[in-house]
A and B are shown apart, each in its own frame.
Chain A
Amino acid sequence: MAKLADSVRVNTIPSARKQRALRKTNVIGWLFASPWAIGLLCFYAIPMLMSIYFSFTTYSILQPGEFVGMSNYIDLFHDPLFWKSIYNTIYFTVFFVPLSIFFGVALAMMLNMKVKGMAVFRTIFFLPTLVPQVALAVLWMWLLHPNFGLVNGMLAHFGIDGPPWLGGEAWSKPSLILMSLWGIGQAVVIYLAGLGDIPDEYYEAAQIDGANWFQKTRKVTIPLLTPVIFYNLVMGMIGAFQQFTLPYTLTKGQGTPANSMTFYVMYLYENGFRYFKMGYASAMAWILFIIVMALTGIVFITSKRWVHYQGK
């Protein structure tokens, strides 16, 4: 209480000396923050704002280019590969994000059971996330090799003629989704924390009411896990739209077969750094920004209906 009174006094009767001291403190504060602030400005804010301008020019990094108005954007809408890359990216997002939530929650629930040696199991499922994306790509190229790969070898054992996986136009994206699902350990850890947050009382109450496992999951676990699912949904979506390393490594930047693996950011990179069309690439980046912003906005708006926070 005394503290409060003190601060009130400072605010109401500011002496000139005190004000000067305050200003000096501010300056010092800013100076200390300056490396970070300058860094943010130089390497983040200014380049980002510049890219808006560049998206209206034929900037090529090596040459400043000229102002061409909306022509980059107009060209983009007439570029079949642009649409193909959007289709590929949305295809990946639509399948990968829900699947990753489903498998993530399922895995987390399994790993949340009170069994001996659970730490070992948890580690096993987390380990794949430690594998660098490039190594992951090479590893899965071997596993999914149509003729000598382990996966098709095993399928052949059961008399199934395996698909061409990464070699087939129709199978390449599902293969990529499969590979990406292998690395959901990070999300599982977050789900596990979310599961740990659910108080036992709810389960006890449900037990007393005679709820079975399925009912408990549907009415207690899932609703109380929605804040975590919400977080993973947003992050997963943003991540999926920026898919780059895996398909780039798998196809050596070519997006083969038949451009079925040309993802949005891959095509952006190709335009910016291989065709020297940085203006075009900047336009693509801003379109992606708008798409991701819009989708995130939609998720946020709908979240009021399906995300349940505890204690509310």
Chain B
Amino acid sequence: MRKSKKFAFPILACFLAMLLLVTACSTKGRASDQDGKGITTVTMWHGLTSIDLDNMNKVVKAFEEKNPTIKMKLVYTESSEGSDQKLLTAVAGGNPPDVALFDRFKVGTWAAQGSLTDLSSMAAESGITKELYYPFAWDESSYQGKLYAMPMDTDSRLLFYNKDHFKEVGLDPNNPPKTIAELEAAAEKLTIKDGKRFKRIGFIPWYSQGWLYTWGWAFRGEFQDPATGKITANDPKVVEALQWMTDFGKKYNVEDIAGFTSAAGSEEMDPFISGQISMKISGNFTVKGIEKFKPDLNYGVAPIPTPTGTNFTTWSGGGSAIIPKGAKNVAAAWKFLEFLGKEEGQTLLNADSQISVIDSVNDKYGYKDDPIMKEFINILPNSHNRPVIPEGQLLWNELASATEKATRGNGTPKENLDKVTETVNKALEKYDK
């Protein structure tokens, strides 16, 4: 017993020393960002896989060739809620990456928390201006007039319709519905209902990308007052849109539709691919899935119908790159963002995958000659972005829940949207101070 105790201290000392060494290593790793040869290592967190990762690697390669003093280090962090949590802890802990890929939708929230680096002056110096991009992409990257993110890619939402189904019921497959009334008439013709079960449903307004944002803007409503920045979810036009959705649901019985909306499969089980729904609102991101799972699907896309059949619009989101507050190599990180945001980087980044935020790049990809893709591109100049506010996520969830409540007959559209407006504006108050 005595003897073993003699060794206890040395063993313990060794153990503690090792522990110290292990922790020391990790801090050392960061200190050597700038090594003796004058090369700066810029760490970037991303959630890219397959083709998008390949593209990003091409961007990095081209960038490093032009900037021999900067080395990019790509670190994969899963692309989901989880990656945000990692970034959150890293920023809070004062040890963030130099660059992180980021959903533009969250720019308002993070900027209001003071966690993003203001890029405005660097952008001005590098000649990066709003005119380069689609207006919504720039707006969604800015908060209170300052640029906080470099837009990378985008998307848009359109009406998808199955041409074979159109032919089958005697509708013109080359003349998809333009007005809300035409949409309703087509939906009625296309629906085959057997008791409570739909053998085929013509259309569900809120299915897939049919958010209240989609219809609110289609009905020419506004969700935010540009002058005061206050949320106006109870804009009469938005109420009208939700009323229409509610009436549509009533006609086909909401509980029966619920079968489709909540448990509908994705990928190859997508009801549009399997022909169980004839029309849906969806984004360009589902086009690849159709090509993969049912390349011979005879479908078309058209602008989302509006009450008047004119003034077509949509809304867009997309990814961006940000420099978190507390990043060590802001100047070098900006160099990369600049490259990413200019035409050369954009061309490499979105090839064969996404829609670029620069119109000329989409032209270069030949999207404007593709019968499907051209519709998505052509609508972009008139596209909206969701309001950039500190409580963007709250507004999103509130709108989704109001849509659900109203369509299920739980309060009128007006009541529900009044409540959304009140809740979100109240939450926004604390940021005005």
- Which of A's residues lie within 8 Å of B, judged by CB? 25, 28, 31-32, 35, 58, 60-63, 141-142, 144-149, 161, 164-169, 253-254, 256-259, 270, 273-276
Contacts and interface: CB of A to CB of B under 8 A. Distances in A.
24 contacts: A28-B8, A28-B12, A32-B8, A60-B113, A61-B88, A62-B92, A62-B110, A62-B113, A62-B114, A142-B265, A161-B195, A164-B255, A164-B256, A164-B259, A164-B262, A167-B258, A167-B259, A168-B255, A257-B258, A257-B262, A257-B404, A275-B391, A275-B394, A276-B109
Contact of B197 (A147, A258, A259, A274): A147
A254 B402 CA distance: 13
Interface of B: 5, 8-9, 12, 19, 81, 84-85, 88-89, 91-92, 109-110, 113-115, 195-198, 255-256, 258-263, 265, 276, 391, 393-394, 397, 400-401, 404-405, 408, 410, 430
Contacts of B408: 169, 257-258
Contacts of B89: 61
Contact of B263 (A167, A270, A275): A167
A144 B397 contact: no
A28 B195 CA distance: 77
Given A168-B258, A275-B394, 7 more contacts: A25-B5, A147-B263, A147-B276, A148-B265, A256-B404, A258-B404, A276-B109
A253 B84 CA distance: 15
Nearest to B419: A80
B91 A62 contact: yes
Contacts of A32: 8, 12
Contacts of B261: 167
The residue among A144, A164, A165, A166 with the most chain B CB atoms within 10 A of its own CB is: A164
Contacts of A60: 113
A104 B103 CA distance: 45
A contact patch SS = loop
A258 B206 CA distance: 14
B208 to A, nearest CB: 13
A58 B427 CA distance: 12
The residue among B115, B198, B258, B400 with the most chain A CB atoms within 10 A of its own CB is: B258
A280 to B, nearest CB: 11
A274 B395 CA distance: 12
Contacts of B400: 254
B85 A273 contact: yes
A157 B367 CA distance: 49
A242 B317 CA distance: 34
A162 to B, nearest CB: 9
Given A168-B258, A275-B391, A145 B265 contact: yes
A121 to B, nearest CB: 32
B196 A161 contact: yes
A42 B420 CA distance: 40
Given A144-B263, A147-B197, A253 B109 contact: no
Given A28-B5, A28-B12, A275-B394, A146 B259 contact: yes
A145 B263 contact: yes
Contacts of A148: 265
A194 to B, nearest CB: 38
A148 B260 CA distance: 10
Contacts of A31: 12
Contacts of A58: 430
